[in-house]
Amino acid sequence: MTPRFLTPKELALLSLVQNELVPSYGDLPPAGTLGAALTVDAYLAEQPRLRRPVLTTLRAIEVRSGKTPFAELDAGRRVEVLRKVEDSDPESFSELVKQTYNAYYTRPDIQASLGIDGPPQPLGFELPAFDESRLSRVRAMGKLWRDD
Amino acid sequence: MPAPEHDSDVLIVGSGASGAAAAWSLSRRGLRVTCLEQGRWVDQSEYAHSRPDYELARQTSFAKDPNVRGWAEDYPINNSGTPIHPLMVNAVGGSTVHWSGHFPRMRPSDFRVKTLDGVADDWPFTYWDLEPFYDLNDSMVGVSGLAGDPGNPPRSPRQTPPLAFDAGCEAYLRGLEKLGWHWWPCDNALISEPFGENRSPCNCCGPCDIGCPIGAMSSAHVTYWPKALAQGVQLITHARVEQITVDRAGRATGALYYDEQGVRQSHSAGVVVMAANGVGTPRLLLNSTSAIFPSGLANNSGIVGAYLMFHPVALVSGVFEEVVNGQRGPIGGLMNCQEFYETDLSRGYVRGFELQLSRNVGPLSVANGGILGHPVPWGSGHHEALRSRYAHTMTTSVMLEDLPERENRVTLDSELTDAHGIPAPRVEYRLGENTQRMLEFGIARARDLFEAAEAVEILVDPLVRESGWHLMGTCRMGDDPESSVINGWGQAHECPNLFVIDGSTFTTSAAVNPTSTIQAIALRCADWLGRNYQEVAA
Ligand SMILES: Cc1cc2nc3c(=O)[nH]c(=O)nc-3n(C[C@H](O)[C@H](O)[C@H](O)COP(=O)(O)OP(=O)(O)OC[C@H]3O[C@@H](n4cnc5c(N)ncnc54)[C@H](O)[C@@H]3O)c2cc1C
Ligand code: SF4
């Protein structure tokens, strides 16, 4: 699928970065492999205020990677680069992390892996009824309010 | 029959918690009531609860900060001078459209802080004067809860029973029982069983803070508005009021507003009632200048906008080993602990606070920092950290009484305007010393609670920036025109046919959520105005 806002190169970099931010877990692939970059691309197309921090962070990652492109760094070096970029501009970096989480945790398959059957409505949840007997100690405390 | 002298008998500005209650009460007496509301009806289809990405609504279309949400109906607020950001909703039903519905009452001592504790001012009436209106309001909106709390005066049976006693309650109770502290299931403005028309009982879906799609939450657009409209109230939406007009004698004559097409209109009325909230009302009065009121309507005293109070809030979360499923059930209302509510000077401060023992949020919001703003770290430990917090966390608010200070205020910004060019409000606020001492003490007690409850990790946000839910005190009530804007009936000292009935009326803030008190005050003022309309409007 073609991105709506990012260039294909930016999209590919974002996807690799996301694989480090939210790595694989058990059978679950990492965020980038799951397609979180395209979802973030859609957010960027719709919410202009997100563009500056995300693009700034992607550029900083390219610069910090030095002569070897981020894609060719080994896993340890990638994380090192990301930590350095985070330290130099935590606000922009945290926006990229936030949008990655947004893309990842709104997926029904990821929610299912956390035991979530579906959105809150229309089913809601059944909770046990309130148990008044638990109040006996407090009831015995007597008047606690002041009106003198 | 001669044409009526005015377009309406009573013009209400704002359709939120207070405006809705007053519209219902005044129209019941046969008065011709019009309400101007800058917002719209929020459509059922806008609620996100049935979508897997529902948690995104907290960051976008249902964000609580209007500066972030940016609906066309919102107005900007200059927040640069305050560590606490004012939050609100600008729509039919006002800020009750998406809120938490915690519905405690103030205690009798809250109305008499000067007499009892020598600080701030007493209110011009007592708890007992307001009590019948608390009861009336509860019977109109529908409250879930349980009478009999020894921490508060006896009250009428609640309309529907308290919601649930689940694993989260058990976790809290472990701590409370060990410490021997007071607690009680909260009164909540939501229904746990059938009540009212076109409303379904709460099905414990969780995220009330992005609205309630089934009408379980007792928001003003599902409680008072259908009844007020049936009684003939005219509600004009997309009507942004620019100023309240006055005649040469300094009496209010009505309002100028921009309609949905952006055309300036005027509406005349015998009485004007301000219900635009603790920021919107002072903003409009300050913008309503005239020869007789050069600093704003009813502001020759210089007090309009001053004495702004929030409830400064610290949030403390406990992470438990067991699953507590804090994301299930209404996010706000669970239990209240009022162990530290009344003054005890040995604690190093005057007045008190309550611990609101609340629930938590879904996985996306947990990842992004949960209610506290502590994001789950990215990288190799991410999944384990997320899984240790999600469904394992409960959060308590330490909600303090904020003493009124003149320097804390709403003014008009010299540059910022809304989409119609009307000056936007600027908020200046700093925490008082008493508040800071109380905040520290309260955080330490919330930690005690979670330790006693055997939480394995405790997270703290010592002062929540996005906690300006409660906007109070900016047109305060009192008997003395030198130190207050309105009297105990909401009537402006300087302009007898102008009333204020919203959160700005508060003389002091108490340490509980204000809306049951705001609505009780609105009903009490409207009742008095309804009985005295001819005299007031003459
Ligand atoms: C996220 C959130 C959670 C909350 N949770 C709780 C809770 O659990 N318990 C509790 O007690 N309180 C809670 N509150 C606070 C509660 O919503 C308010 O106390 C209450 O709604 C205030 O009532 P009001 O009548 O003063 O103003 P509002 O309900 O804010 O209504 C004011 C209305 O005036 C309109 N208005 C303003 N200016 C103009 C203008 N120029 N022209 C036309 N119309 C105008 C606005 O659009 C708005 O509809 C919460 C608030 C928020 C934002
Ligand atoms: S938890 Fe209950 S009150 Fe809250 S949104 Fe869901 S149904 Fe409505």
Residue A56 has pLDDT above 60, yes or no: yes
- The reported pTM is 0.97
In tens, the pLDDT along B120-167 reads 999 999 999 999 999 999 999 999 999 999 999 999 999 999 988 899
> Residue A36: which domain range?
12-20+31-114
Is residue A131 included in any domain, yes or no? Answer: no
Going from the Cα of B279 to the center of ligand 2, the distance in angstroms, rounded, reads 27
Region B225-254: mean pLDDT is 98
Whether B315 shows a pLDDT value over 60: the answer reads: yes
User: Confidence band (pLDDT; 50, 70, 90) for B3?
Assistant: low
**Is B2 within the bounds of a domain?**
no
Q: Which of A 85-114 lie inside 8 A of B, CB atoms?
A: 94, 97-98, 100-102, 104-108, 110-111, 114
Q: Which of B42, B49, B214, B358 to mutate to test the pocket of ligand 2 (most atoms within 8 A of CB)?
A: B214
Task: Please count the structural domains in chain A.
Answer: 1
The pLDDT, as a whole number, for residue B232 is 98
What token pair was written down for B328? 């299930």
The continuous run of DSSP H or E covering B498 comes out as: strand B495-500
Q: Give B371's pLDDT tier (boundaries 50, 70, 90).
A: confident
Does A40 map to a domain? yes
Whether the CB of A8 is below 8 Å from some CB of chain B: the reply is no
Chain B residues with CB under 8 Å of A138 CB are: 150, 182-184
Residue A134 is predicted with a pLDDT of 95
Residue B236 has pLDDT above 90, yes or no: yes
- The CATH number assigned to the domain holding B83 equals 3.50.50.60
In a domain, B527, yes or no: yes
Per-residue pLDDT, averaged over B491-520, amounts to 98
Q: Measured between CB atoms, which of A105, A122, A130 is closest to B164?
A: A130
Mean pLDDT of B66-87: 96
For chain B, how many structural domains are there in total?
Answer: 1
User: What's the pLDDT at A128?
Assistant: 93
Give mean pLDDT, residues A21-39. 97
**How many angstroms separate the CA of residue A13 from the nearest CA in chain B?**
16
> Which contiguous run of DSSP H or E holds residue B436?
helix B433-452
Query: What DSSP designation does B446 have?
Result: H
Residue B1 lies in a domain: no
Is B3 within 8 Å of B267 (Cβ atoms)?
A: no
d(CA B80, CA B429): 10
Residue at A122 is within a domain: no
Computed over every residue of chain B, the mean pLDDT equals 96
From chain A residues 36-75, the ones with a CB under 8 A of any chain B CB are: 47
**pLDDT at B534 > cutoff 60:** yes
Please list the residues that pair with B81 across neighbouring strands: B428
In this predicted structure, what is the pLDDT of residue B2? 55
SS3 for chain A is: CCCCCCCHHHHHHHHHHHHHHCCCECCECCCCCCCHHHHHHHHHHHCHHHHHHHHHHHHHHHHHHCCCCHHHCCHHHHHHHHHHHHHHCHHHHHHHHHHHHHHHHCCHHHHHHCCCCCCCCCCCCCCCCCCHHHHHHHHCCCCCCCCC
Task: Report strand pairing: B78-81 vs B423-428.
Answer: parallel
**A139 is a domain residue:** no
Q: Is residue B336 part of a domain?
A: yes
Contacts of A115 in chain B (CB under 8 A): 391
> Would B3 be classed as within a structural domain?
no
Is A75 part of any domain?
yes
Of B475, B466, B170, the residue nearest B323 (C-alpha): B170
Q: What pLDDT, on a 0 to 100 scale, did the predictor assign at position B305?
A: 98
Burial B250-261 (b: 16+ CB within 10 A, else e): bbbbbbebbeee
Higher pLDDT, residue A2 or B23: B23
For residues B197-207, average pLDDT: 96
Q: Which atom of ligand 2 is nearest to the CA of B200?
A: 7
Residue A90 lies in a domain: yes
Calpha distance B161→A131 (Å, rounded): 11
Mean pLDDT of A67-88: 97
Asked whether residue A102 carries a pLDDT value surpassing 90, the answer given is: yes
Confidence of residue B449 (pLDDT cuts 50, 70, 90): very high
Instruction: Please indicate whether, in this complex, the C-beta atoms of A125 and B173 are within 8 angstroms of each other.
Output: no
DSSP element (H, E) containing B101: none
Residue A147 lies in a domain: no
Instruction: Give the HSE-up count for residue B413: Cα atoms under 13 Å, Cβ half-sphere.
Output: 21
Six-digit token string for B206: 């969780």
Which residue ranges have their beta carbon within 6 Å of ligand 2?
A: B 190, 202-206, 208, 212, 214, 216-217, 330
Give residue B120's domain range. 8-537
Mean pLDDT for B518-538 is 97
At residue B1, does pLDDT exceed 60? no
pLDDT in tens, B462-494: 999 999 999 999 999 999 999 999 999 999 999
Ligand 2 atom closest to residue B211's alpha carbon, by position in its atom list: 5
Ligand with minimal distance to B62 CA: 1
Q: What is the mean pLDDT of residues B288-297?
A: 98
B164 assigned to some structural domain? yes
Contact A120 B54 (CB under 8 A): yes
What percentage of chain A carries pLDDT values higher than 70?
99
The alpha carbon of residue A2 is apart from the nearest alpha carbon of chain B, in Å, by: 22
Among the listed residues B371, B347, B387, B374, the one whose alpha carbon sits nearest the alpha carbon of residue B469: B371
| Per-position b or e across B208-234, b if 16+ CB within 10 A of its CB | bbbbbbbbbbbbbbbbbbbbbeebebb
Instruction: Say yes or no: CB of residue B211 within 6 Å of ligand 1.
Output: no
**Predicted pLDDT at B333:** 74
Ligand index nearest the alpha carbon of residue B219: 1
Domain membership flag for residue A101: yes
